[in-house]
Structure 1
Amino acid sequence: MTEEELYEKLKLVQKMKCESQMLELKAAKEGCPKKLYDTLSSFSNQDDGGIIIFGIDEAQHYKEVGVYDAQDIQKKINEQCLQMNPIVRPLITVIEKDGKNFVSAEIPGMDLADRPCYYQGRGRLKGSYTRIGDSDEPMTEYEVYSYEAYRKKYQDDIREVNRVTLGSLDFKLLTRYIELLKEGKPRLAVLEDENIYELMSVTKNQTVTLSATLLFSPYPQAYFPQLCIIATVIPGTEIGMVGSYGERFLDNQRIEGNVSDMLNEALGFVRRNMRTRTIINPITGVREDQTDYPILAVREVLINAIVHRDYSIHTEGMPIQILMYDDRLEIHNPGGIYGRMRVDQIGKVQPDTRNPVLASALEVLGITENRYSGIPTIRREMKKYHLQEPEFFDERGSFIVKFYKEQVLDFPDINDEEENLLLFCKTPRTRKEICEFLGLSSITYAVQKYIMPLVDAGKIKLSIPEKPKSPKQLYYSAEIEKNL
């Protein structure tokens, strides 16, 4: 960070009066904070790192108090960075303002293969932190495991399931799978089935794998009760709302069986709880029946949930969830995004595959293409139905997809709204405030279609420009800066 950039940061802090996903403030008027470990860890464990500014006292309404000794605090910061594993290498900047010294420490985000970064004095499990908004939170055991699983390329989909035997699997399903495997593969076709089982991870060390259990067992839930799908219809727009007769759920089903059975039953559940309305196709003029959501898109998101969920021991007690609200459909998938993929890259770049054996087996069985076409198909189908783009969320230990019923045909043109929106944003606004101002139900849609074009044009600024998707982000008219 240059000195000029640090001056601008200080100015922005006084305007916004808050910390953020990538900004931590420390007073340090009487000495260097003794425990920076949590922030050093959390910033190192996020892609874009973060910045710690010393010399601002949050307790005094973000007063600029300066640091006690600019030279000594740099030494103390580096000492604490050396106690992290891997060692943190901060970039430190010092400026003087109004007779007071201020210090910033830029903490770079570490490569995924080096995470989690943790404080050696507490160890990997207790010394690893993650940044949630403006807070440093201890990582869960699962979050720590997730980094290790990616780094060491664990394949939880082929872990051994000692309770399952080949004799307990559905022999017809397994035989059909082996026949499909042999088609067009002469070298594989000459092998004994028992050898193919080991080669293709139906068994591992002659023990049936989890993947084979999920695919070929008549009832996998006998061994893993929560590797199922819980489907619920909620009478309202939030969990906790009740229907006209006091009912909490309009429909509620525990969907079990092998992968194919669960997919078919889940689709059946969504179908019977969707409305079907008759519309006039604006292109052909023909009357058509249209469901609330395109069933092909629903199928793709359910397949993705089954294939890409986490099957480790840490999440085997978590089912996939289908939640149908009055205004939307949500699919909750245990595990979050795997590997280096970011939410904004979904459907645009080839992802790492968490469960490659399961994915390949479903391709052989004709259930999925395994060509990374699922997300583009979902987006295309939603557009065909004139629905908002699906929303994707990567939360702690969970990946969520949301479909909205509201069509986008009659939304006002951005040009008609621009002047009023810029006036509205003369006061820094949150995503939710902007969405409500525009009269929309989807925050993501409001930002993508209305705010980001103005950001790209330089007419609207971000309070945290280095972290565009921060939950603490505020948007404000560029006119504010001109008047500073």
Structure 2
Amino acid sequence: MLEEEFGKLLLRVQQRNCEEQTLEVKAANKGCPERLYDTFSAFANQNEGGMLLFGLDEKQGFAKVGVYDAQDLQKKLMEVGESMTPVVRPVLSVYVEGAMLFVAAEIPPLDLAERPCFKTARGRLKGSFIRVGDADKPMTEYEVYSYEAYRKRSRDDLRPVAGISSSALDPVQLEQYLLKRKLDRPNFASVPTEQLYELTGLQKEGQFTLTAVLLFGLYPQAYFPQLSIIASRVPGTEMGEVDETGQRFLDSKRIEGSLVEMLEGAVSFLRSNMRMAVRIDPKTGKRQDMPEYPLDALREAVLNALVHRDYSTHTENMPIQLIMF
């Protein structure tokens, strides 16, 4: 960092009198602060990275107090970076103002494939942090898992489901699907059914997958009760508002079944809960019904929610929320 930039940064912090999403302030006039690894981790785990600024005392209204020893502080910051996995290499800068020294440590963001960054001694689950405003918060198990799933390119929809037999699936729908796949790929015609299940993602490790259950299950919610849609229509523009009779919901429904059944059920709910204008063509005299929202767009939105939701074990107890205001 250039000296002019460093001076402006000190002035900006004092004027705003606060820390920020990408800025952490430490006094360090009486020694190196403890527990810097949480901020190292949080900054490395966000796209913008971040900066630790040493030499301002937050307790004194961000007054300039300088650091105890710029050389020793830089050495200890490098040691903190080396205690992380992956190793963090902070970019260090020193600024002199009168008799006081200030130190800045810029933490570069890690590539998504390398996150989460965590303190090695504490382990990935307890040593990973995320920045929330001006605070460093421990990552939840799900947040850690999300990075690991991205790195490993996990397909949670293809995970095997124990205890599911062919009797739980719709044999007609399943057979029609396999026939279509054989028509698309003639070389599938001679492939045994069990192998075809594996090749198409319906089975893994000899067990039916979550995909098979959701697409062809007779009643998927018997095994995954919350992989459903909770559809509601509320009277106002905010959740919790009531109408003149005190009702919070004008309509509410739990939509279950296979993915196809839930798609059709959700579209039917939307259609029945929206207004329909009537237009008469002046030339032909024919009646035209004009829905409040275009049905094609609604179908696409619901389909995206069903296909692209998180199907990991961490979120299988969270239904899709469909709310009409």
Please indicate, yes or no, whether the TM-score normalized by the shorter chain is above 0.5.
yes
- Residue 57 of structure 1 corresponds to 57
**Deviation sequence 1:292-324 (CA, Å, 0-9, x none):** 433222222222221111111111111111122
The letter for the 1-side match of 2:83 is: Q
Matched, 1:166 2:159: no
Structural mapping, 1:316-335, within 5 Å: 316-325=316-325
- Residue 314 of structure 1 corresponds to 314
Structural mapping, 1:32-181, within 5 Å: 32-181=32-181
Q: 1:272 to 1:63 in 2, by over 3 A?
A: farther
**Deviation sequence 1:343-364 (CA, Å, 0-9, x none):** xxxxxxxxxxxxxxxxxxxxxx
2:214–2:259 CA contact under 8 A, matched in 1: yes
- Residue 284 of structure 2 corresponds to none
Using the TM superposition, give the Cα deviation of residue 48 of structure 1 relative to its aligned residue in structure 2, in angstroms.
Answer: 2.0
Matched, 1:200 2:205: no
Using the TM superposition, give the Cα deviation of residue 52 of structure 1 relative to its aligned residue in structure 2, in angstroms.
Answer: 1.0
Using the TM superposition, give the Cα deviation of residue 278 of structure 1 relative to its aligned residue in structure 2, in angstroms.
Answer: 6.3
2:48–2:109 CA contact under 8 A, matched in 1: yes
1:163–1:223 CA contact under 8 A, matched in 2: no
1:36–1:80 CA contact under 8 A, matched in 2: yes
Distance in 2 between the 1:60 and 1:320 partners? 48
Using the TM superposition, give the Cα deviation of residue 74 of structure 1 relative to its aligned residue in structure 2, in angstroms.
Answer: 0.9
Higher relative CO (Cα under 8 Å, sequence separation at least 6) belongs to 2
- Look up the SS of the partner of 2:248 in the other structure: coil
**Deviation sequence 1:385-441 (CA, Å, 0-9, x none):** xxxxxxxxxxxxxxxxxxxxxxxxxxxxxxxxxxxxxxxxxxxxxxxxxxxxxxxxx
Using the TM superposition, give the Cα deviation of residue 103 of structure 1 relative to its aligned residue in structure 2, in angstroms.
Answer: 1.0
Q: 1:271 to 1:73 in 2, by over 3 A?
A: same
Distance in 1 between the 2:121 and 2:177 partners? 51
Question: Percent identity, aligned pairs only?
Answer: 53
Distance in 2 between the 1:169 and 1:20 partners? 53
- Residue 339 of structure 1 corresponds to none
- Look up the SS of the partner of 1:183 in the other structure: helix
The letter for the 2-side match of 1:10 is: L
- Look up the SS of the partner of 2:212 in the other structure: helix
TM-score between the two structures when normalised by the length of structure 2: 0.92
The letter for the 2-side match of 1:219 is: Y
Distance in 2 between the 1:224 and 1:48 partners? 38
Tell me which structure has the larger Cα radius of gyration.
2
The letter for the 2-side match of 1:199 is: L
Using the TM superposition, give the Cα deviation of residue 90 of structure 1 relative to its aligned residue in structure 2, in angstroms.
Answer: 0.2
Q: 1:273 to 1:135 in 2, by over 3 A?
A: farther
Using the TM superposition, give the Cα deviation of residue 290 of structure 1 relative to its aligned residue in structure 2, in angstroms.
Answer: 4.5
2:93–2:103 CA contact under 8 A, matched in 1: yes
Using the TM superposition, give the Cα deviation of residue 249 of structure 1 relative to its aligned residue in structure 2, in angstroms.
Answer: 1.8
Q: 1:255 to 1:31 in 2, by over 3 A?
A: same
Which consecutive residues of structure 2, in runs of 5 or more, have no partner in the other structure? 281-286
TM-score between the two structures when normalised by the length of structure 1: 0.63
Which consecutive residues of structure 1, in runs of 5 or more, have no partner in the other structure? 281-286, 326-484
Using the TM superposition, give the Cα deviation of residue 94 of structure 1 relative to its aligned residue in structure 2, in angstroms.
Answer: 0.9
Q: 1:76 to 1:279 in 2, by over 3 A?
A: farther
- Residue 13 of structure 1 corresponds to 13
**Higher mean Cα deviation, 3-12 or 121-130?**
3-12
The letter for the 2-side match of 1:23 is: L
Q: 1:128 to 1:193 in 2, by over 3 A?
A: same
Distance in 2 between the 1:191 and 1:260 partners? 27
Distance in 2 between the 1:279 and 1:88 partners? 65
The letter for the 2-side match of 1:186 is: P
CA root-mean-square deviation: 2.2
Using the TM superposition, give the Cα deviation of residue 241 of structure 1 relative to its aligned residue in structure 2, in angstroms.
Answer: 2.2
The letter for the 1-side match of 2:106 is: E
Distance in 2 between the 1:99 and 1:238 partners? 57
Distance in 2 between the 1:13 and 1:278 partners? 60
